[in-house]
Amino acid sequence: MHHLNRKPATKLAFIFLLFALTWQHQKAMAQSNGNAGITPLQPSVASGYPEIKDSVQATEFFIQELATPSPVDINKLRYLLGKGADIKSTDKRGWSLLFEAAFQGDTALISLCLKNNLPVNNLNKTPYTITTPLYWAVERGHNKAAGLLRKAGGTFGIEDGIATQIYDSGNKYIGNFINGAKSGKGIFYYGNGDKYDGNWNDNLFNGFGTFTFADGIRFSGQYSEGRQIGKGTMWSHGDKFEGTFKDYLLDGHCSIQWKSGAHYDGYFANNNRNGRGIELLANGAKYDGEWKDDKKNGKGTFIWKSGLKYVGDWKDDAMEGYGRLYDKHNKLTYEGKFTDNKPADKKGWKQPE
Protein backbone atom coordinates (compact mmCIF):
# COMPACT_ATOMS: atom_id res chain seq x y z
CA MET A 1 0.00 0.00 0.00
CA HIS A 2 2.80 2.39 0.90
CA HIS A 3 4.56 1.71 -2.42
CA LEU A 4 1.39 2.24 -4.46
CA ASN A 5 0.75 5.63 -2.80
CA ARG A 6 4.21 6.98 -3.77
CA LYS A 7 3.80 6.56 -7.55
CA PRO A 8 1.29 9.36 -8.17
CA ALA A 9 3.31 11.75 -6.03
CA THR A 10 6.48 11.00 -7.99
CA LYS A 11 4.67 11.54 -11.32
CA LEU A 12 3.19 14.84 -10.12
CA ALA A 13 6.59 16.09 -9.00
CA PHE A 14 8.04 15.21 -12.40
CA ILE A 15 5.30 17.20 -14.18
CA PHE A 16 5.96 20.25 -12.01
CA LEU A 17 9.69 19.97 -12.67
CA LEU A 18 9.13 19.75 -16.44
CA PHE A 19 6.85 22.83 -16.39
CA ALA A 20 9.42 24.82 -14.41
CA LEU A 21 12.23 23.91 -16.81
CA THR A 22 10.08 24.85 -19.83
CA TRP A 23 9.16 28.20 -18.35
CA GLN A 24 12.79 29.01 -17.49
CA HIS A 25 13.84 28.07 -21.03
CA GLN A 26 11.24 30.38 -22.59
CA LYS A 27 12.24 33.21 -20.28
CA ALA A 28 15.92 32.74 -21.13
CA MET A 29 15.16 32.79 -24.87
CA ALA A 30 13.18 36.03 -24.55
CA GLN A 31 15.94 37.70 -22.52
CA SER A 32 18.63 36.52 -24.93
CA ASN A 33 16.74 38.39 -27.68
CA GLY A 34 16.55 41.61 -25.67
CA ASN A 35 12.88 41.13 -24.79
CA ALA A 36 13.11 41.54 -21.04
CA GLY A 37 9.73 41.94 -19.42
CA ILE A 38 7.61 40.27 -22.12
CA THR A 39 4.93 37.90 -20.90
CA PRO A 40 4.01 35.34 -23.60
CA LEU A 41 0.31 35.42 -24.48
CA GLN A 42 -1.94 32.54 -25.39
CA PRO A 43 -1.47 30.98 -28.86
CA SER A 44 -5.01 32.09 -29.79
CA VAL A 45 -3.68 35.65 -30.09
CA ALA A 46 -1.66 34.64 -33.13
CA SER A 47 -4.49 33.06 -35.06
CA GLY A 48 -3.42 32.52 -38.65
CA TYR A 49 0.23 31.95 -37.79
CA PRO A 50 1.85 28.56 -38.38
CA GLU A 51 3.64 27.11 -35.41
CA ILE A 52 6.57 29.38 -34.49
CA LYS A 53 9.69 27.24 -34.83
CA ASP A 54 12.33 29.58 -33.40
CA SER A 55 13.25 33.20 -32.69
CA VAL A 56 14.32 33.75 -36.30
CA GLN A 57 10.87 32.89 -37.61
CA ALA A 58 9.25 34.91 -34.82
CA THR A 59 11.35 37.92 -35.88
CA GLU A 60 10.30 37.48 -39.53
CA PHE A 61 6.62 37.55 -38.58
CA PHE A 62 7.32 40.47 -36.23
CA ILE A 63 8.78 42.57 -39.09
CA GLN A 64 5.86 41.62 -41.34
CA GLU A 65 3.44 42.91 -38.71
CA LEU A 66 5.36 46.19 -38.36
CA ALA A 67 5.19 46.68 -42.14
CA THR A 68 1.38 46.50 -42.22
CA PRO A 69 -0.56 49.80 -42.08
CA SER A 70 -1.03 51.14 -38.56
CA PRO A 71 -2.61 50.50 -36.20
CA VAL A 72 -1.01 47.07 -35.88
CA ASP A 73 -2.46 44.46 -33.52
CA ILE A 74 -0.31 45.11 -30.44
CA ASN A 75 -1.23 41.73 -28.94
CA LYS A 76 0.25 39.96 -31.97
CA LEU A 77 3.50 41.84 -31.49
CA ARG A 78 3.54 40.89 -27.81
CA TYR A 79 2.90 37.29 -28.71
CA LEU A 80 5.80 37.22 -31.18
CA LEU A 81 8.10 38.89 -28.67
CA GLY A 82 7.18 36.15 -26.25
CA LYS A 83 8.21 33.67 -28.92
CA GLY A 84 11.65 35.25 -29.10
CA ALA A 85 11.30 37.92 -31.82
CA ASP A 86 14.03 40.55 -31.73
CA ILE A 87 12.51 43.62 -30.06
CA LYS A 88 14.90 45.90 -31.98
CA SER A 89 13.69 44.76 -35.41
CA THR A 90 12.48 47.36 -37.93
CA ASP A 91 10.82 47.18 -41.32
CA LYS A 92 12.51 48.66 -44.39
CA ARG A 93 11.17 52.12 -43.58
CA GLY A 94 12.79 52.11 -40.15
CA TRP A 95 9.42 51.59 -38.39
CA SER A 96 10.08 49.90 -35.07
CA LEU A 97 8.06 48.68 -32.11
CA LEU A 98 8.68 52.07 -30.47
CA PHE A 99 7.08 53.83 -33.46
CA GLU A 100 4.01 51.60 -33.24
CA ALA A 101 3.75 52.01 -29.47
CA ALA A 102 3.95 55.81 -29.87
CA PHE A 103 1.39 55.73 -32.70
CA GLN A 104 -1.07 53.86 -30.46
CA GLY A 105 -0.15 55.64 -27.23
CA ASP A 106 0.79 52.37 -25.47
CA THR A 107 2.85 53.73 -22.56
CA ALA A 108 3.65 50.27 -21.15
CA LEU A 109 5.12 49.18 -24.48
CA ILE A 110 7.01 52.49 -24.81
CA SER A 111 8.57 51.90 -21.39
CA LEU A 112 9.52 48.37 -22.44
CA CYS A 113 11.16 49.66 -25.64
CA LEU A 114 13.12 52.30 -23.74
CA LYS A 115 14.18 49.70 -21.19
CA ASN A 116 15.55 47.61 -24.04
CA ASN A 117 17.40 50.65 -25.45
CA LEU A 118 15.46 51.13 -28.68
CA PRO A 119 16.64 54.41 -30.31
CA VAL A 120 14.22 57.11 -29.24
CA ASN A 121 15.09 59.32 -32.23
CA ASN A 122 15.27 56.69 -34.94
CA LEU A 123 13.93 58.09 -38.24
CA ASN A 124 11.05 56.63 -40.22
CA LYS A 125 11.62 57.70 -43.83
CA THR A 126 9.19 57.61 -46.74
CA PRO A 127 9.22 59.59 -50.01
CA TYR A 128 7.03 62.18 -48.27
CA THR A 129 7.92 62.23 -44.60
CA ILE A 130 10.69 61.96 -42.04
CA THR A 131 9.25 61.23 -38.60
CA THR A 132 10.21 60.01 -35.12
CA PRO A 133 8.22 58.23 -32.39
CA LEU A 134 7.63 61.57 -30.62
CA TYR A 135 6.15 63.05 -33.79
CA TRP A 136 3.51 60.29 -33.93
CA ALA A 137 2.68 60.49 -30.23
CA VAL A 138 2.07 64.26 -30.56
CA GLU A 139 0.24 63.97 -33.89
CA ARG A 140 -2.13 61.31 -32.49
CA GLY A 141 -2.77 63.29 -29.29
CA HIS A 142 -1.18 60.78 -26.90
CA ASN A 143 0.09 63.25 -24.30
CA LYS A 144 1.32 60.68 -21.75
CA ALA A 145 3.21 58.79 -24.44
CA ALA A 146 4.72 62.05 -25.71
CA GLY A 147 5.80 62.91 -22.16
CA LEU A 148 7.64 59.60 -21.79
CA LEU A 149 9.44 60.10 -25.10
CA ARG A 150 10.39 63.70 -24.34
CA LYS A 151 11.76 62.64 -20.97
CA ALA A 152 13.91 60.08 -22.79
CA GLY A 153 15.27 62.78 -25.11
CA GLY A 154 12.83 62.39 -28.01
CA THR A 155 12.73 65.03 -30.77
CA PHE A 156 10.84 65.54 -34.01
CA GLY A 157 13.81 64.36 -36.06
CA ILE A 158 13.90 67.13 -38.66
CA GLU A 159 16.33 69.72 -37.39
CA ASP A 160 17.23 72.01 -40.29
CA GLY A 161 16.47 72.30 -43.99
CA ILE A 162 13.57 71.72 -46.35
CA ALA A 163 11.38 68.66 -45.80
CA THR A 164 7.83 67.35 -46.13
CA GLN A 165 5.61 66.18 -43.31
CA ILE A 166 2.30 64.40 -43.83
CA TYR A 167 -0.01 64.23 -40.84
CA ASP A 168 -2.41 61.42 -40.01
CA SER A 169 -5.23 63.99 -40.11
CA GLY A 170 -4.61 64.46 -43.83
CA ASN A 171 -2.74 67.76 -43.44
CA LYS A 172 0.64 68.22 -45.16
CA TYR A 173 3.51 70.67 -44.75
CA ILE A 174 6.22 71.33 -47.34
CA GLY A 175 8.84 73.83 -46.33
CA ASN A 176 11.73 74.85 -44.15
CA PHE A 177 12.59 73.65 -40.65
CA ILE A 178 14.90 75.24 -38.08
CA ASN A 179 15.73 73.29 -34.92
CA GLY A 180 12.93 70.86 -35.69
CA ALA A 181 10.22 73.52 -35.99
CA LYS A 182 8.48 74.92 -39.07
CA SER A 183 10.33 78.19 -39.61
CA GLY A 184 10.96 80.25 -42.72
CA LYS A 185 9.04 79.72 -45.95
CA GLY A 186 6.52 76.88 -46.11
CA ILE A 187 3.18 75.67 -47.46
CA PHE A 188 0.61 73.92 -45.25
CA TYR A 189 -2.17 71.96 -46.94
CA TYR A 190 -5.22 71.20 -44.79
CA GLY A 191 -7.23 68.05 -45.25
CA ASN A 192 -10.40 70.13 -45.76
CA GLY A 193 -8.94 71.96 -48.77
CA ASP A 194 -7.63 75.12 -47.04
CA LYS A 195 -4.02 76.18 -47.73
CA TYR A 196 -1.50 78.55 -46.14
CA ASP A 197 1.53 79.66 -48.17
CA GLY A 198 3.89 82.00 -46.37
CA ASN A 199 6.33 82.62 -43.56
CA TRP A 200 6.58 80.65 -40.31
CA ASN A 201 8.35 80.97 -36.98
CA ASP A 202 8.52 78.16 -34.42
CA ASN A 203 5.56 76.26 -35.96
CA LEU A 204 3.34 79.38 -36.21
CA PHE A 205 2.28 81.62 -39.11
CA ASN A 206 4.47 84.69 -38.79
CA GLY A 207 5.13 87.52 -41.25
CA PHE A 208 3.59 87.72 -44.71
CA GLY A 209 1.43 84.85 -45.96
CA THR A 210 -1.50 83.89 -48.16
CA PHE A 211 -4.37 81.80 -46.83
CA THR A 212 -6.73 80.28 -49.38
CA PHE A 213 -9.97 78.86 -48.01
CA ALA A 214 -11.58 75.78 -49.52
CA ASP A 215 -14.55 77.88 -50.73
CA GLY A 216 -12.26 80.10 -52.83
CA ILE A 217 -11.91 83.09 -50.50
CA ARG A 218 -8.27 84.24 -50.38
CA PHE A 219 -6.37 86.50 -47.99
CA SER A 220 -2.85 87.88 -48.38
CA GLY A 221 -1.33 89.86 -45.57
CA GLN A 222 0.34 89.95 -42.20
CA TYR A 223 0.43 87.30 -39.45
CA SER A 224 1.91 87.39 -35.97
CA GLU A 225 2.57 84.35 -33.75
CA GLY A 226 -0.02 82.22 -35.51
CA ARG A 227 -2.70 84.90 -35.66
CA GLN A 228 -3.83 86.98 -38.65
CA ILE A 229 -3.40 90.59 -37.63
CA GLY A 230 -2.33 93.67 -39.62
CA LYS A 231 -2.61 94.91 -43.19
CA GLY A 232 -3.81 92.69 -45.99
CA THR A 233 -6.10 92.09 -48.95
CA MET A 234 -9.00 89.66 -49.20
CA TRP A 235 -10.75 88.49 -52.36
CA SER A 236 -14.19 86.95 -51.98
CA HIS A 237 -16.20 85.84 -55.02
CA GLY A 238 -15.53 89.01 -56.99
CA ASP A 239 -15.43 91.44 -54.06
CA LYS A 240 -12.14 92.94 -52.87
CA PHE A 241 -11.34 94.11 -49.32
CA GLU A 242 -8.14 95.96 -48.56
CA GLY A 243 -6.87 97.44 -45.31
CA THR A 244 -6.32 96.40 -41.70
CA PHE A 245 -7.60 93.02 -40.52
CA LYS A 246 -7.79 91.07 -37.28
CA ASP A 247 -8.52 87.33 -37.51
CA TYR A 248 -9.66 87.89 -41.12
CA LEU A 249 -12.19 90.54 -40.01
CA LEU A 250 -11.99 94.18 -41.15
CA ASP A 251 -10.67 96.29 -38.29
CA GLY A 252 -9.36 99.83 -38.80
CA HIS A 253 -9.10 101.78 -42.06
CA CYS A 254 -10.22 99.68 -45.05
CA SER A 255 -11.65 99.94 -48.54
CA ILE A 256 -14.10 97.64 -50.32
CA GLN A 257 -14.71 97.23 -54.03
CA TRP A 258 -17.84 95.16 -54.63
CA LYS A 259 -18.31 93.31 -57.91
CA SER A 260 -21.56 95.31 -58.35
CA GLY A 261 -19.45 98.44 -58.82
CA ALA A 262 -20.16 99.90 -55.37
CA HIS A 263 -17.22 101.15 -53.30
CA TYR A 264 -16.55 102.03 -49.65
CA ASP A 265 -13.59 103.71 -48.01
CA GLY A 266 -13.55 104.27 -44.27
CA TYR A 267 -13.23 102.72 -40.84
CA PHE A 268 -14.29 99.34 -39.45
CA ALA A 269 -14.53 97.62 -36.10
CA ASN A 270 -15.10 93.87 -35.86
CA ASN A 271 -16.00 93.68 -39.57
CA ASN A 272 -18.67 96.40 -39.34
CA ARG A 273 -18.44 99.95 -40.64
CA ASN A 274 -17.82 102.16 -37.61
CA GLY A 275 -16.62 105.77 -37.65
CA ARG A 276 -16.15 107.98 -40.70
CA GLY A 277 -16.66 106.43 -44.13
CA ILE A 278 -17.63 107.19 -47.75
CA GLU A 279 -19.85 104.87 -49.75
CA LEU A 280 -20.33 105.15 -53.51
CA LEU A 281 -23.30 103.10 -54.74
CA ALA A 282 -23.39 101.35 -58.10
CA ASN A 283 -26.14 103.70 -59.31
CA GLY A 284 -23.97 106.78 -58.66
CA ALA A 285 -25.41 107.86 -55.29
CA LYS A 286 -22.96 108.75 -52.49
CA TYR A 287 -22.95 108.86 -48.68
CA ASP A 288 -20.19 110.66 -46.76
CA GLY A 289 -20.53 110.57 -43.01
CA GLU A 290 -20.60 108.59 -39.78
CA TRP A 291 -21.35 104.89 -39.31
CA LYS A 292 -22.12 102.64 -36.38
CA ASP A 293 -22.64 98.85 -36.47
CA ASP A 294 -22.56 98.89 -40.28
CA LYS A 295 -25.38 101.47 -40.57
CA LYS A 296 -25.47 105.21 -41.20
CA ASN A 297 -25.59 106.77 -37.73
CA GLY A 298 -24.68 110.30 -36.69
CA LYS A 299 -23.90 113.19 -39.05
CA GLY A 300 -23.76 112.53 -42.77
CA THR A 301 -24.38 113.78 -46.31
CA PHE A 302 -26.25 111.76 -48.94
CA ILE A 303 -26.29 112.78 -52.62
CA TRP A 304 -28.71 111.01 -54.96
CA LYS A 305 -27.74 110.35 -58.58
CA SER A 306 -30.14 113.13 -59.63
CA GLY A 307 -28.02 115.64 -57.69
CA LEU A 308 -30.45 116.18 -54.76
CA LYS A 309 -28.64 116.30 -51.43
CA TYR A 310 -29.43 115.70 -47.75
CA VAL A 311 -27.17 117.01 -44.98
CA GLY A 312 -28.07 116.11 -41.42
CA ASP A 313 -28.70 113.44 -38.79
CA TRP A 314 -28.97 109.69 -39.40
CA LYS A 315 -30.16 106.79 -37.30
CA ASP A 316 -29.96 103.13 -38.40
CA ASP A 317 -29.65 103.99 -42.11
CA ALA A 318 -32.54 106.50 -42.07
CA MET A 319 -32.71 110.29 -42.08
CA GLU A 320 -33.75 111.03 -38.48
CA GLY A 321 -33.41 114.29 -36.54
CA TYR A 322 -32.39 117.70 -37.88
CA GLY A 323 -31.44 118.07 -41.55
CA ARG A 324 -31.48 120.13 -44.76
CA LEU A 325 -32.42 119.31 -48.34
CA TYR A 326 -30.77 120.88 -51.42
CA ASP A 327 -31.69 120.62 -55.07
CA LYS A 328 -29.23 119.67 -57.80
CA HIS A 329 -28.14 123.33 -58.04
CA ASN A 330 -27.28 123.26 -54.32
CA LYS A 331 -30.24 125.52 -53.45
CA LEU A 332 -31.77 124.92 -50.01
CA THR A 333 -35.31 123.53 -50.37
CA TYR A 334 -36.06 122.37 -46.83
CA GLU A 335 -34.64 122.72 -43.34
CA GLY A 336 -36.08 121.14 -40.26
CA LYS A 337 -36.99 117.86 -38.61
CA PHE A 338 -36.81 114.49 -40.34
CA THR A 339 -38.56 111.32 -39.20
CA ASP A 340 -39.07 107.93 -40.80
CA ASN A 341 -36.56 108.86 -43.53
CA LYS A 342 -38.48 111.94 -44.75
CA PRO A 343 -39.14 115.60 -43.85
CA ALA A 344 -41.65 115.83 -41.00
CA ASP A 345 -43.41 118.85 -42.54
CA LYS A 346 -43.52 117.77 -46.17
CA LYS A 347 -46.49 115.58 -46.79
CA GLY A 348 -46.30 113.39 -49.85
CA TRP A 349 -42.55 113.84 -50.16
CA LYS A 350 -40.88 110.87 -51.78
CA GLN A 351 -37.21 110.02 -51.46
CA PRO A 352 -35.44 110.28 -54.84
CA GLU A 353 -34.16 107.11 -56.43
Average pLDDT over residues 227-245: 97
DSSP alpha helix (H) spans, the chain: 2-32, 55-67, 74-82, 97-104, 107-115, 133-139, 143-151
Predicted confidence (pLDDT) at residue 23 exceeds the cutoff of 80: no
Domain ranges in the chain?
238-353
Residue type, 316: D
DSSP β-bridge partners for residue 268: 252, 273
pLDDT per residue over 260-311, tens digit each?
999 999 999 999 999 999 999 999 999 999 999 999 999 999 999 999 999 9
Q: What is the DSSP string of 124-191?
A: EE-SS-EE-HHHHHHHTT-HHHHHHHHHTT---S--EEEEEEE-TTS-EEEEEEETTEEEEEEEEE-T
Query: Residue 168's pLDDT is what?
Result: 63
Question: 179: pLDDT confidence band, cut at 50, 70 and 90?
Answer: confident
Query: Residue 343's pLDDT is what?
Result: 93
Burial zone of 54 (CB within 10 Å; 0-12 exposed, 13-18 middle, 19+ buried): exposed
Query: Residue 208's pLDDT is what?
Result: 98
Question: Each residue of 206-245: b (16+ CB within 10 Å) or e?
Answer: beebebbbeeeeebbbbbeeeebbbebbbebeeeebbbbb
Using a pLDDT cut of 70, give the percent of the chain over it.
83
Using a pLDDT cut of 90, give the percent of the chain over it.
53
pLDDT per residue over 93-118, tens digit each?
788 899 999 999 999 999 999 998 88
Question: 18: pLDDT confidence band, cut at 50, 70 and 90?
Answer: very low
SS3 353: coil
SS3 39: coil
CA distance 255 to 245: 11
Average pLDDT over residues 225-236: 96
Strands 172-178 and 160-166: antiparallel
CA distance 323 to 313: 6
Share the mean pLDDT of the chain: 83
SS3 347: coil
Question: 132: pLDDT confidence band, cut at 50, 70 and 90?
Answer: confident
Question: 41: pLDDT confidence band, cut at 50, 70 and 90?
Answer: very low
Choice between 257 and 37, residue whose per-residue pLDDT is larger = 257
Residue 81's closest CA among 107, 116, 105, 50? 116
Predicted TM-score of the model (pTM):
0.59
Question: 243: pLDDT confidence band, cut at 50, 70 and 90?
Answer: very high
Identify whether 71 is preceded by a cis peptide bond (ω within 30 of 0): yes
Average pLDDT over residues 223-238: 96
Predicted confidence (pLDDT) at residue 79 exceeds the cutoff of 60: yes
Average pLDDT over residues 134-155: 89
Residue 140's closest CA among 93, 105, 173, 90? 105
Q: Which CATH architecture has domain 238-353?
A: Single Sheet (2.20)
CA distance 348 to 225: 59
Query: Residue 73's pLDDT is what?
Result: 85
Predicted confidence (pLDDT) at residue 9 exceeds the cutoff of 50: no
